[in-house]
Amino acid sequence: MTILLDEVGSKDLASSTVGLNTKCSWCGDIIRLSDNEPTGAMCQSCYDVMLAEFRRANYGNPSKDLEAVVVAGKYLRHPAYAGSLLAHLGLGLSFSNWFSLGFSSIPYFLAAAYRMRVEEQALKEAFGSEYLEYAKTVKPLIPKLY
């Protein structure tokens, strides 16, 4: 547990033999660490600010920033999923048996298919007919097949 020194009297702190005094790695306040905390720790207020900024940056609504459908990709709509599926197929084949091929590829394909459906729905809502036209001409995973 990280404790700010202002919250603990110096008399109590001096009598305690467990822990370590260090500076917050963000604001420089002196904090007290328990034995199992890393020395690059931060105080609770800095942690709260950092976590809020991380959540805002990573879990905000990305479709608000989008302006148009990028149609430069003429082969696949989901190249990252296609590449990962190819890597999973290669991993399964490297073990030279059908079980490892299925065990490596099928769960990933099911997860990717679900995720692609979710993304496709969000893109349809964000761009409407413009995205539907693009989706008609470009396959999602395998060029000219699927």
Q: What is the mean pLDDT of the chain?
A: 75
pLDDT > 90? residue 42: no
Runs of H (alpha helix) within 16-97:
44-59, 79-94
pLDDT > 60? residue 39: no
C-alpha–C-alpha distance, residues 134 and 146, integer Å:
14
C-alpha–C-alpha distance, residues 12 and 28, integer Å:
22
Residue 124: how many CA atoms within 13 Å on its side-chain side? 9
Any idea how long the chain is?
A: 146
The per-residue pLDDT for range 7-26, each reduced to its tens digit, is: 444 444 444 445 567 777 66
Domain spans in the chain, listed from the N-terminal domain onward: 3-59, 62-137
pLDDT > 90? residue 146: no
Whole-prediction pTM: 0.51
pLDDT level of residue 115 (50, 70, 90 thresholds): very high
Other beta carbons within 10 angstroms of residue 47's beta carbon come to 14
Helix (H) or strand (E) holding 30: strand 30-33
